[in-house]
Amino acid sequence: MRLGVLDVGSNTVHLLVVDAHPGARPLPAHSHKAELRLAQLLDDSGAIDDDGIHKLVAVVQDALQAAEDKGVEDLLPFATSAVREATNADEVLARVEEETGVRLQVLAGSEEARLTFLAVRRWFGWSAGKLLVLDIGGGSLEIAYGIDEEPDIAVSLPLGAGRLTAGWLPGDPPAPEAVRALRRHVRTEIARTVGEFTRFGAPDHVVATSKTFKQLARIAGAARSAEGLYVQRELKRESLEAWVPRLAGMTVEQRAELPGVSDGRAGQLLAGALVAEAAMDLFGVENLEICPWALREGVILRRLDHMGSD
């Protein structure tokens, strides 16, 4: 069957269409993306304003049309931290449903982490052993650890690259003292959770998902996306540590010229790099592998599991 997953994230609204059957690997058939930057459309009270809701409705309508054009049989719509944390989330969800017919499921941060973990586990298989999974989104950082398909522990921290850029890094390039202040903040937040993970023991394999990690790996020398899904891509902490001060001194325009960095993501790459560096350092990770599958694939896999058990 042809499934569509509609991901209303903090940076983008992304429709992923796959051909999928229980017990089989989902095969991508179509991708439709719109950069909306919901996290940056919040007003002073933390609400998504009327203009933002109108833009969201329009983007969802476009995605619905794309899903219809591609023959999607079942659509799985969900929203993450930008909608979840908006002070008028109920109003936003009601407007979207009223004007498009789409009822967005708002995922809790820990559920995001669990679904991403499921996707990573299915990608690497049981032979990967105990997995530590890191995922930097626009609004939050998800961390999960476990040996099964369901992680032993999964947390979500308000350390998304878009959120931190908007709140901590004015200026282009940002002032060194602003970068230092953000670095301290990020490390304090992550350090609070490290002990909860270390009591489970060291992971056998550390994996990262998300556009931020993919771009950091690419500028550090990993293979281009055009070389295919099955090429191994890694990020070494040593390489990342060398890149952080370079990114801090660059303008957004200069970052956008780096290999694999899009114009839309260049502004938040420094904040993402600070989070990635802090997580790798505080969890004692020297090297991690990039996984092509993440939250959207986790949502699809969970749906297929339920279909197979019905």
pLDDT at 287: 98
Locus of tokens 């449903």: 97
pLDDT class of 185 with cuts at 50, 70, 90: very high
How far apart are the C-alpha atoms of 216 and 240, rounded to whole Å?
Answer: 7
How far apart are the C-alpha atoms of 68 and 122, rounded to whole Å?
Answer: 28
pLDDT at 111 > cutoff 90: yes
Question: Same fold for the domain at 2-106 and the one at 109-295?
Answer: yes
* Mean pLDDT of the residues in the chain: 95
Q: What is the pLDDT of residues 243-300, one digit of tens each?
A: 999 999 999 999 999 999 999 899 999 999 999 999 999 999 999 999 999 999 999 9
Give percent of the chain above pLDDT 90. 88
How many other CB atoms are there within 10 angstroms of residue 302's CB atom? 17
pLDDT at 308: 65
Average pLDDT for residues 37-48, to the nearest whole number?
85
Q: Where are the domains of the chain?
A: 2-106, 109-295
Looking at residue 48, what DSSP letter applies?
A: B
pLDDT at 127: 97
For residue 278, give the amino acid letter. A
pLDDT at 73: 95
pLDDT at 106 > cutoff 90: yes
Q: Is residue 45 packed enough to be buried (19+ CB in 10 Å), middle (13-18) or exposed (0-12)?
A: exposed
How far apart are the C-alpha atoms of 36 and 46, rounded to whole Å?
Answer: 17
Length of the chain: 310
Q: Is the dihedral angle over the CA atoms 246, 270, 256, 228 positive or is it negative?
A: positive
pLDDT at 202: 96
- pTM above the 0.75 mark? yes
pLDDT at 24: 86
For residue 95, give the amino acid letter. R
pLDDT class of 309 with cuts at 50, 70, 90: low
Instruction: Give the fold, CATH level 3, of 2-106.
Output: Nucleotidyltransferase; domain 5 (3.30.420)
143 bridge partner residues? 134, 155
CATH H superfamily, domain 109-295: Exopolyphosphatase. Domain 2 (3.30.420.150)
Per the CB < 8 A criterion, the answer to whether 137 and 160 are in contact is: yes
pLDDT at 257: 97
pLDDT at 42 > cutoff 90: no
pLDDT at 113: 97
Tokens representing 277 are 């560096």
pLDDT at 310: 58
Per the CB < 8 A criterion, the answer to whether 119 and 5 are in contact is: no
pLDDT at 33: 94
Single out the residue of 98, 100, 70, 95 nearest to residue 5, CA to CA: 70
Looking at residue 222, what DSSP letter applies?
A: P
